[in-house]
Chains A and B, each alone.
Chain A
Amino acid sequence: MSNTLQEVDARKLSCPLPILRAKKALDGMDQGQVLRILATDPGSVMDFESFCKQTGNELLSSEQNGGEYVFQIRKK
């Protein structure tokens, strides 16, 4: 089980694309690996929280840097 960090750049994308792109990336990852997502959609803060709660993936962090949001999700 490696922790290779994968990244999805969902900046400038609107709902539901950040979630859909993240889901697609997670599908191609191994259990325990961490996905980093960059987004600019303010709605994605709540959406990723809900996404992780529903899918069982672990939301490691959710941060805001200026107008950008960074999420880290560990695949279940």
Chain B
Amino acid sequence: MSTQAEKSSASLPGDLLKHGAALDAWFDQRFADKLKEIEENKTPSLSIISTKGTMDWAYPPFILASTAAALGWEVNVFFTFYGLELLKKDLHLEVSALGNPGMPMKMPFGPKWFQGINWNIPNLVMAGVPGFEKVATGLMKKTVKNSGVASIQELRDVCIEAGVNLLACQMTVDLFGYTRDDFIPEIKGWVGAATFLPIARKSDVSLFI
């Protein structure tokens, strides 16, 4: 930037150079224009750290990544710990209502008044009834379908197609005893924090999910 400024002022006529205030004003204007130009020509970038492996938590990273890619942004998503579940070849994502008081328990079928009921199910039941999570997951999938919300698989496919960089945490693979064959081949890299941080540093938007 300073080289550019020096070059520009060097090309000014001699009498203008003598007038410091005028030169300052000229430089400020030119600098502001240049900054604006750089900002406008820059490709925005998004980097996400995805750390959760349940169906509900799979949505935010994939929705944001696919939408950013559609806007023409450069996108990197670093999947670590349970987030790696989202990169498995076979997605078996479930949702747990236990310990999640923010999750409405509604039925995705039946008459409208019935669907409107928020079932208050005690934690003891949710924890003790075998298969409760399977049922909750099934109901959530049905709700998603009814509402025209994309499946995780669909959003992930869009991300891959749009060139989103999917990065997997190598440490987690070793820690949980996974093999690379468990995961989709479209993963761009098996990396660590030292690779992701410099990417995040340069990103305009950086999120931890």
A54 touches B72 (CB 8 A): yes
Q: When the two chains form the complex, which single residue of A14, A20, A51 contacts B148, counting CB atoms closer than 8 Å?
A: A14
**What are the residues of chain A within 8 A of B44 when measuring CB–CB?**
54
Measured between beta carbons, the chain A residues less than 8 angstroms from B149 are: 14, 17
Tell whether B66 is near chain A: CB-to-CB under 8 Å.
yes
Q: Is A55 a contact partner of B147 (Cβ separation < 8 A)? A: no
Please give me the residue from chain B that is nearest to A40 by CB atom: B148
* A16 to B70 CA separation, bound complex (whole angstroms): 10
A41 and B150 CA atoms in complex are apart in Å by: 13
CB neighbours of A14 from chain B (8 A): 147-150
Interface size of B by Cβ–Cβ distance < 8 Å? 12
Q: Report the nearest A residue to B147, measured CB to CB.
A: A14
Q: What is the CB-to-nearest-CB distance from A18 to chain B, in angstroms, rounded to a whole number?
A: 9
Contact B67–A19 (Cβ < 8 Å): yes
Give Cα distance in the complex from A51 to B71, angstroms: 6
Q: Assess the A20–B71 pair: CB atoms within 8 A.
A: no
Instruction: Report if B152 contacts A (CB, 8 A).
Output: no
Complex CA–CA separation, A16 to B147 (angstroms): 12
- A16 pairs with B71, CB closer than 8 A: no
Q: Which of B58-76 contact A (CB under 8 A)?
A: 63, 66-67, 70-72
A12, A20, A41: the one within 8 Å of B70 (CB): A20
| Closest-CB distance, B39 to chain A (whole angstroms) | 13
B66 touches A16 (CB 8 A): yes
Q: Is A13 an interface residue (CB 8 A)?
A: yes
Q: How far is the CA of A71 from the CA of B66 in the complex (A)?
A: 21
* Contact of B158 with A by CB under 8 A: yes
Q: Which residues of B contact A41 (CB under 8 A)?
A: 148
Judge whether B150 and A51 touch: CB under 8 Å. no
In the complex, the chain B residue whose C-beta lies closest to that of A13 is B148
- A27-69 CB contact bits vs B (8 Å, 1 = yes)? 0000000000000010000000001001100000000000000
**What is B's interface to A at a CB cutoff of 8 Å?**
44, 63, 66-67, 70-72, 147-150, 158
New contact pairs (18) apart from A12-B148, A13-B148, A54-B44, CB-CB < 8 Å: A14-B147, A14-B150, A15-B63, A16-B70, A16-B150, A17-B148, A17-B149, A17-B150, A19-B67, A19-B70, A20-B66, A20-B67, A20-B150, A23-B70, A54-B71, A54-B72, A55-B71, A55-B72
- Closest A-B pairs by Cβ, 10 of them: A23-B70, A16-B67, A13-B148, A54-B71, A12-B148, A14-B149, A14-B148, A17-B150, A16-B63, A19-B70
Q: What would 13 A/B residue contacts be, using CB atoms closer than 8 Å?
A: A13-B150, A14-B147, A14-B149, A14-B150, A15-B63, A16-B70, A16-B150, A17-B148, A17-B150, A19-B70, A20-B67, A20-B158, A54-B44
